[in-house]
């Protein structure tokens, strides 16, 4: 067996040969430094089963690779070489669909054509991206059942004849397309996204899937796609799927493969979203349907585990309604005349007096129902195995029962977390309720309960990193103020001896290619109305001078729409507004205008501040209307800040400033995408240069030339090093 040094050397040699033998590639010092770190890290981690008494070596590299480094080539080449040498596979996880598609449809095919080995790859998606043929078959025979798995936060489904007919027509059309091979069964390949509730009715999910026992198993789209994973050397996933499938064997075991997390700055947020929970406290007809279905299934398969189901279902429904009633009594008055939902967080995660009683009753009842449903599921699986001739009937029962099981699990998890009390010194959970104004004149307030951990690092440490032996995390934005401390803490890797952090500089000459204009307006951002008015005035002054492509980034949709409405007709004709048309269509029109030599301006929000590739003249000017602080109504962030303050710490300096610095680095990264680009970045927020924390954020940005303006008049530009 070759030692790790030899393995790393051969992997890096493969990268060097690729660069030397490909005329379209040229050596980049930063890219090679990254490839070397990747090779060393992934070669040293111990994979597979351990010998008795053996302690595994874990190696994790955290690499900030500036824009233009070419990080996908720097990690894919050595990772593939090592996977082939070590007889294992590479799992590459990303945060955005755009990067997944780029890897699968461009980067990997291009790379594989240049490598001397037979390299195979596959894209893994969650079950929910595929249709369940058995569900589709059932919903066509009983369309009313299509509401069972709906999300409580979605508006009420219209019940008029026209809407019911539209849903049924959609179901029939999809079934016909499947039957004639005109649709592959993937959500992402539909020409038009369906109504979320329509898709939820027929989407595959683990709880209702009987796998090989299902009569549609041979034609199942999800399992057909999974076959491609078996022979793949590289499996591309997203962070959501990676975290959602931990311990399920849907992906390779993480202690037996090489792991690369691209766009790794998203991982902490994804972890909080993945491991948080919620349940509806109203719209509880599903509880009765679940009980009725469980009793019917138990009779079909002669299972005696359901004796307590009717009473438990009645107790669960009554207890959840009691909690909803308490919410409306406490906060319902604040909904009077409101159009938007009301979100109420419990300070310090403490329940109001008297709320623990109904929640404890709900917890006990949900536990009883879960035990019965799981026993029924096992009985059905055993029956399908023992009675293959009855597989179709039994699989249909399993699907009907499983469709409602996730709602029961969500209710159980949420109630249990609402009751959770932290140990001494332990961070509490974030707990909050959302109340929705009545819809349709029925006077009923909908109520949702939520609970979530607030420390992503603690979650990732126990759920993810304990399983990992060899991994690389990379992004263009992992440092704040030149340090990895904030990110390592957020991602659960702080103070770990087997973690190495490294910065790989961008090959761009930012001081030559870019100018940062500090054009702070004369208004305090805390006075929202005055500040937005001042920024609007500045934009109306500056945007007419745009000659090529420009991007204007907002932190508020209302502010964006206000500015768009204030544009004079000639300027409005040159402006594209996020949300007014599909993103691909908007970007295509922007490219066409710029290619024709016309000016084109995009007004966008946070999602346009990251992952948007507008090289050359497409983003010759970037306007930042306000520093991208986190939304003020984020209940998890609020709870965490409250906990830090109670511990004598400053959440603004400890959390808000470094997080904003990372986000702003992403935003300014839209401006310069290639070594030939030149761009001008204008920031109207005066805090960037006038406050101490603003200067910390400012000095986290690439070393653009800096120019200050006074009353709209530019001052001389100054080249600034990162240390200034």
- Residue whose entry in the numeric block shows the structure tokens 């027929």: 202
Q: Percentage helix, strand, coil, to 5, in the chain?
A: 50, 15, 35
Q: Which residues contact 295 (CB under 8 A, 6 or more apart)?
A: 306, 309, 310
Please compute the mean of the pLDDT values over residues 286-310 and round it to a whole number: 92
Phi, psi of 123 (to 5 degrees): -100, 125
Res 440 pLDDT > 90: no
Q: Please check whether residue 459 is in contact with residue 492, taking contact to mean a CB–CB distance below 8 angstroms.
A: yes
Query: Beta partners for 61?
Result: 472, 500
Residue 1 pLDDT grade (very low, low, confident, very high; cuts 50, 70, 90)? low
DSSP structure string for 165-191: HHHHHHHHHHHHHHHTTS--SBGGG-S
How far is Cα 385 from Cα 664, in angstroms, rounded to an integer? 56
The CA–CA distances, whole Å, from 486 to 61, 374, 490, 502, 644 equal 16, 42, 6, 14, 15
Phi, psi of 482 (to 5 degrees): 80, 10
Res 552 pLDDT > 60: yes
What's residue 189's pLDDT? Answer: 87
State the Rg of the chain over Cα. 28
DSSP structure string for 487-554: HHHHHT-TT-TTEEEEEE--SS-HHHHEEEEE---SS-TTSHHHHHHHHHHHHHHHGGG--SEEEEE-
Residue 714 pLDDT grade (very low, low, confident, very high; cuts 50, 70, 90)? low
CA angle 602, 603, 608 (to 5 degrees): 85
How far is Cα 199 from Cα 348, in angstroms, rounded to an integer? 38
* 479 vs 166 pLDDT, higher one: 479
Residue 715 pLDDT grade (very low, low, confident, very high; cuts 50, 70, 90)? low
What's residue 62's pLDDT? Answer: 98
CA angle 535, 538, 539 (to 5 degrees): 90
For the stretch 391-400, pLDDT in tens is 888 888 898 8
What's residue 148's pLDDT? Answer: 54
What's residue 190's pLDDT? Answer: 87
Phi, psi of 420 (to 5 degrees): -65, 135
Mean residue pLDDT of the chain comes to 91
What's residue 722's pLDDT? Answer: 38
Res 719 pLDDT > 60: no
Residue 720 pLDDT grade (very low, low, confident, very high; cuts 50, 70, 90)? very low
What's residue 197's pLDDT? Answer: 83
Number of H helices, E strands in the chain: 27, 20
What's residue 534's pLDDT? Answer: 97
For the stretch 154-164, pLDDT in tens is 555 555 677 77
Tell me which of 111-120, 152-161, 377-386, 664-673 is least confident.
Answer: 152-161
What's residue 716's pLDDT? Answer: 53
Residue 724 pLDDT grade (very low, low, confident, very high; cuts 50, 70, 90)? very low
Comparing CA positions, the residue from 332, 201, 272, 109 lying closest to residue 637 is: 272
Question: How many CA atoms does the CB half-sphere of 203 hold within 13 Å?
Answer: 20
For the stretch 359-370, pLDDT in tens is 999 999 999 999
The CA–CA distances, whole Å, from 64 to 29, 261, 385, 487, 705 equal 14, 12, 51, 11, 22
Res 443 pLDDT > 80: no
* 719 vs 581 pLDDT, higher one: 581
Alpha helices per DSSP H over 124-160: 133-141
Res 711 pLDDT > 60: no
For the stretch 248-266, pLDDT in tens is 888 999 999 999 999 999 9
- Residue whose entry in the numeric block shows the structure tokens 């690499």: 63
Residue 339 pLDDT grade (very low, low, confident, very high; cuts 50, 70, 90)? confident
**CB count in 10 Å sphere of residue 465:** 19
**DSSP character for 145?**
G
Angle between helices 29-44 and 4-21 (to 10 degrees): 150
The CA–CA distances, whole Å, from 623 to 190, 434, 545, 660 equal 35, 35, 13, 17
Q: What share of the chain has pLDDT > 90, as a percent?
A: 73
Give the chain's end-to-end CA distance (angstroms, integer): 50
């Amino acid at each position: 067996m070759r030692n790790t040094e030899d393995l790393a050397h051969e992997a890096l040699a493969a990268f060097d040969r690729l660069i030397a033998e490909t005329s379209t590639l040229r050596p980049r010092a930063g890219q090679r430094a990254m490839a070397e770190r990747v090779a060393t890290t992934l070669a040293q981690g111990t994979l597979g089963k351990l010998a008795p008494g053996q302690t595994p070596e874990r190696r994790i590299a955290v690499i900030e690779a500036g824009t233009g480094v070419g990080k996908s080539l720097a990690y894919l080449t050595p990772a593939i070489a090592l996977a082939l040498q070590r007889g294992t596979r590479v799992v590459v996880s990303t945060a955005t669909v755009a990067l997944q598609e780029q890897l699968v449809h461009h980067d990997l095919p291009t790379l594989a054509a240049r490598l001397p080995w037979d390299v195979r790859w596959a894209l893994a998606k969650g079950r929910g991206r595929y249709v369940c043929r058995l569900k589709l078959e059932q919903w066509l025979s009983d369309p009313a059942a299509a509401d069972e798995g709906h999300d409580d936060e979605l508006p009420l489904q219209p019940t008029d004849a026209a809407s019911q007919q539209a849903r049924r027509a959609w179901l029939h059309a999809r079934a016909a397309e499947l039957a004639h091979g005109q649709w592959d069964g993937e959500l992402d390949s539909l020409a038009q996204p369906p109504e979320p509730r329509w898709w939820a009715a027929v989407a595959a999910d683990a709880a209702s899937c009987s796998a090989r026992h299902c009569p549609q198993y041979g034609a199942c789209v999800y399992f057909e796609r999974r076959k491609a994973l078996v022979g793949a050397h590289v499996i591309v996933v997203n962070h959501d799927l990676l975290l959602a499938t931990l311990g399920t064997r849907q992906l390779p075991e993480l202690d037996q493969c090489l792991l690369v997390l691209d766009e790794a700055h998203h991982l902490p947020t994804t972890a909080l979203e993945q491991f948080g929970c919620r349940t509806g406290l109203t719209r509880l007809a599903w509880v009765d349907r679940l009980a009725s279905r469980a009793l019917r299934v138990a009779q079909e398969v002669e299972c005696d585990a359901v004796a307590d189901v009717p009473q438990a279902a009645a107790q669960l429904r009554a207890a959840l309604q009691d909690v909803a009633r308490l919410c409306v009594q406490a906060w319902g008055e604040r909904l009077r005349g409101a159009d938007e939902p009301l979100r109420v967080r419990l300070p310090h995660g403490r329940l109001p007096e008297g709320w623990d009683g109904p929640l404890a009753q709900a917890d006990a009842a949900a536990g009883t129902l879960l035990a019965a449903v799981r026993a029924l599921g096992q009985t059905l699986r055993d029956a399908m195995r023992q009675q293959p001739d009855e597989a179709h009937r039994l699989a249909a029962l399993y699907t009907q029962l499983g469709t409602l099981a996730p709602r029961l699990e969500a209710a159980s998890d949420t109630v249990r977390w609402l009751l959770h009390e932290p140990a001494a010194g332990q961070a509490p959970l974030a707990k909050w309720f959302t109340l929705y104004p009545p819809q349709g004149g029925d006077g009923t307030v909908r109520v949702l309960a939520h609970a979530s951990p607030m420390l992503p690092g603690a979650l990732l440490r126990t759920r993810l990193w304990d399983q990992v032996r060899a991994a690389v995390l990379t992004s263009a934005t992992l440092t704040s103020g030149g340090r990895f401390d904030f990110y390592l803490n957020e991602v659960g890797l702080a103070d770990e001896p087997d973690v190495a952090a490294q910065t790989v500089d961008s090959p761009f000459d930012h001081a030559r290619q870019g100018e940062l204009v500090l054009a702070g307006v004369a208004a305090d951002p805390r006075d929202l109305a005055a500040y937005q008015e001042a920024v609007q005035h500045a934009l109306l002054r500056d945007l007419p001078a745009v000659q090529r492509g420009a991007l204007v980034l907002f932190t508020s949709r209302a502010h964006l729409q206000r500015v768009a409405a204030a544009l004079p007709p000639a300027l409005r004709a040159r402006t594209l507004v996020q949300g007014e048309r599909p993103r691909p269509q908007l970007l295509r029109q922007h490219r066409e205008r710029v290619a024709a030599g016309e000016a084109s301006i995009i007004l966008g929000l946070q999602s346009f501040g990251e992952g948007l590739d507008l090289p050359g003249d497409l983003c010759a000017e970037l306007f930042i209307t306000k520093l991208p602080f986190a939304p003020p109504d984020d209940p998890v962030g609020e709870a965490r800040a409250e906990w830090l303050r109670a511990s004598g710490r400053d959440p603004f300096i400890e959390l808000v400033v470094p997080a904003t610095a990372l986000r702003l680095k992403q935003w300014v990264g839209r401006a310069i995408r290639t070594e030939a680009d030149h761009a001008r970045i204008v920031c109207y927020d005066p805090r960037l240069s006038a406050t101490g924390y603003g200067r910390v954020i400012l000095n986290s940005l690439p070393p653009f030339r800096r120019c200050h303006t006074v009353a709209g008049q530019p001052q001389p530009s100054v080249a600034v090093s990162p240390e200034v």
